[in-house]
């Protein structure tokens, strides 16, 4: 599973960002059901998180650290992202 993440996680994040942005654009101009104004920003946060984790898995960031430290950094990044999304949804 980790090998799949090493190869594809960046693309998954990009697709999520594009999908969220397209949903928001369709909502603003065609559907007009007011889903959420923060939807593109939430998609961007998910994309940035997945790109960063993709870079950590591929050794672009924190290459000198052990796997235990890298896993801790990944958990911290995911926790901060979930908190930021919660704050965006809450407001």
For the residues of 60-76, what is the DSSP string, one character each?
SSSTTS-HHHHHHHHHH
Instruction: State the chain's maximal CA–CA distance in angstroms.
Output: 50
pTM of the model: 0.85
- Residue from 80, 86, 78 nearest 38 by CA: 86
**pLDDT 10s digits, 4-57:** 878 888 899 999 999 999 998 888 888 777 777 788 899 999 999 999 999 998
Q: Which residues contact 35 (CB under 8 A, 6 or more apart)?
A: 23, 24, 27
φ/ψ bin of 59: left (φ > 0), alpha (ψ from -120 to 50), beta (otherwise)? left
Model pLDDT, residue 87: 92
Tokens of 5: 């993440």
3-class SS at 57?
Answer: helix
């Amino acid at each position: 599973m980790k090998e799949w993440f090493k190869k594809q996680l960046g693309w998954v994040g990009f697709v999520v960002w594009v999908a969220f942005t397209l949903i928001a654009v369709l909502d603003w101009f065609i559907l007009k059901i007011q889903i959420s104004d923060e939807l593109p920003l939430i998609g961007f946060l998910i994309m940035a998180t997945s790109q960063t984790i993709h870079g950590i898995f591929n050794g672009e960031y924190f290459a000198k650290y052990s796997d235990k430290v890298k896993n801790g950094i990944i958990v911290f990044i995911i926790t901060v992202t979930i908190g930021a999304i919660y704050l965006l949804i809450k407001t």
